[in-house]
Structure 1
Amino acid sequence: MCARFVLAAAEKVILAAYAAEMEAEYKQNWNIAVTNESFVITADKPHAIQSMHFGIIPWTSQTGKLEKQTFNSKTRNLLTSKIWRPLFEQHKRCLVLSTGFYEWKKIPNETSREDREPYLFTLKDRPLYAYAGLWSQWRDPETKEPYRTFSIVTTESNDLVGEVHDKHRMPVILSKENEDLWLSKDISPSALLNICVPFPDELMNRVRVSKRINAVNKKKVPNNDEGLILPENSL
């Protein structure tokens, strides 16, 4: 699973890496949680970097609210799910830009989730990369205003992530070559499943970070600063 991630690259680095234009004001974010806004590149507008909310709200929603755990979509369900299949087959695919993601490790005799140890996962060769994602647009029935949301596609974890994450899932991290494939409208959905594989362990870093990351907000103030990604200790 991937419910919390980081996008802390400088704006000029993002623009250079993806040769695209930023369509919304960009701010670094070290603690992106479900319902928060972050940045994606869609198959429909590959030269634009758009801001969307984390967690899919289907276009058929009656409430416009996140009612299920639709922040992640599983690879094995992309061609069968009533939510994911239409998006996957109708090219509602996107790159979710990131510089790292968090997972939590259970510890013996824990009494609450707050007792779990958080770890940050990054790539060794690319400080900025993209997850395979899906996106959707819901429109307010009264105002007609669009509300765009995205989901991160997940697959089985590699060993590095699996040693921490008890459900053995991880986001689909795309190689640079596969980013273009994921956005392509000329490749069949079934063929795209071949690139939804665990990222190689040897190309990733893992460090334990402060439990301060466990809170999205503290006393209604965003818990969001560069100190969240500083290593406490290596596993």
Structure 2
Amino acid sequence: MCGRFQRRLDKKQMMEAFGLGALEEMDVSLEVGLAPNYNAAPGSMHPVVVWDDDFGMRALRMMYWRFLPPYCTDPKKFNWSTLHAGAENLLSSTMWKKAFQYRRCLIPADSFVEWKTIDKKASKKTLKLPFLFALKTGDPFGIGGIWQHWRSPDGKTRMDTFAVVTVEPNEIVHDMTDHDRMPLLIEKKDYERWLQGGDVERPPVDLLRPFDADKMKAWRVGTSINSVRNNDPSLITPDDTPEPGDDEGGESSNGSGQMGLF
């Protein structure tokens, strides 16, 4: 599903990987947001690549990871789950359709997190073991997303918001975690077509597919990443200890505790 991801690349690497132009042209307000993030979570701000029609080029904006549609009047009272948008619903849902047609984006990342759930029969609790998924080459990649500019009814609060598009899992994600979804990863050769508007009646539905598992690698990491309060390079270190069995005791960890602006 992709509830967390890592963005370890620095500013220069991000500019080069996503064709964003000269560093001196970047908005200074992005400085803090471009710092490496080892535990990027929903309910917080992240740099996102979009297509700027005015300048005919790719641009980087800070966006809030929770898609807020125009009819949302109060995020605190908006109960819809809009962190993720299922690929199969992008054209059939009024929530997602226009964003998919007109406002597609890329979320820069180096790896993403999925959890394997182990039931603790003895304690009747569950343990969630985190796995990182990345490209075998070690290159950064773009997670496919859709975005929406949101403003409060009084016009005092404005922000760009996004949702991660999800697809069926490829073999490596399914075999490692038994998950039924994974984030949409866009091939570098398809960045331009994904970002540009093109024919809105014929959006790039052919790109809505699982990424090639043969191009990916995965490894288990420690459960420290389950808490968003932890954010340091140690979170990507492989955990080589034996994987706990389903008959062991232990505390439940559900990866919750996500912090937000609302």
Question: Is structure 2 residue 166 aligned with structure 1 residue 158?
Answer: no
Please give the residue correspondences for 1:26-37 in structure 2 after superposition, counting only pairs within 5 Å: 26-37=34-45
Render the CA deviation track for 1:71-116: whole Å, top value 9, x for unaligned. Answer: 1111100001121012112x11111111110000012426445x11
Scaled by the length of structure 1, the TM-score of the pair is: 0.89
Question: Is structure 2 residue 113 aligned with structure 1 residue 102?
Answer: yes
For these two proteins, the number of residue pairs brought into alignment is 228
Q: Which residue identity is paired with 2:105?
A: C
Among 180, 194, 202, which residue is 1:182 paired with? Answer: 194
Q: Point out 4+ residue stretches in structure 1 off by more than 6 angstroms.
A: none
Alpha-carbon RMSD across the aligned residues, in angstroms, is 2.0
Question: Is structure 2 residue 87 aligned with structure 1 residue 80?
Answer: no
Once residues 138 and 233 of structure 2 are traced to their aligned partners in structure 1, the CA distance between those partners, rounded to angstroms, is: 18
Once residues 166 and 189 of structure 1 are traced to their aligned partners in structure 2, the CA distance between those partners, rounded to angstroms, is: 35
Task: State the percentage of identical aligned residues.
Answer: 32
The SS at the match of 2:165 is strand
Question: Is structure 2 residue 156 aligned with structure 1 residue 144?
Answer: yes
Look up the match of 2:182: 170
Render the CA deviation track for 1:122-167: whole Å, top value 9, x for unaligned. Answer: 1112521101110011112224331111111110000100123434
Once residues 104 and 138 of structure 2 are traced to their aligned partners in structure 1, the CA distance between those partners, rounded to angstroms, is: 22
Once residues 27 and 128 of structure 1 are traced to their aligned partners in structure 2, the CA distance between those partners, rounded to angstroms, is: 15
The answer as to whether partners of 1:140 and 1:147 remain within 8 angstroms in 2 is no
Look up the match of 2:2: 2
Please give the residue correspondences for 1:59-74 in structure 2 after superposition, counting only pairs within 5 Å: 59-65=70-76, 67-74=79-86
Render the CA deviation track for 1:195-221: whole Å, top value 9, x for unaligned. Answer: 11111111001000000011112xxxx
**Which stretches in structure 2 are left out of the alignment for 5+ residues?**
244-262
Look up the match of 1:227: 234
Look up the match of 1:39: 47
The answer as to whether partners of 2:73 and 2:152 remain within 8 angstroms in 1 is no
Look up the match of 1:55: 66
Higher-strand-fraction structure: 1
The answer as to whether partners of 1:181 and 1:187 remain within 8 angstroms in 2 is no
Once residues 103 and 50 of structure 1 are traced to their aligned partners in structure 2, the CA distance between those partners, rounded to angstroms, is: 26
Scaled by the length of structure 2, the TM-score of the pair is: 0.81
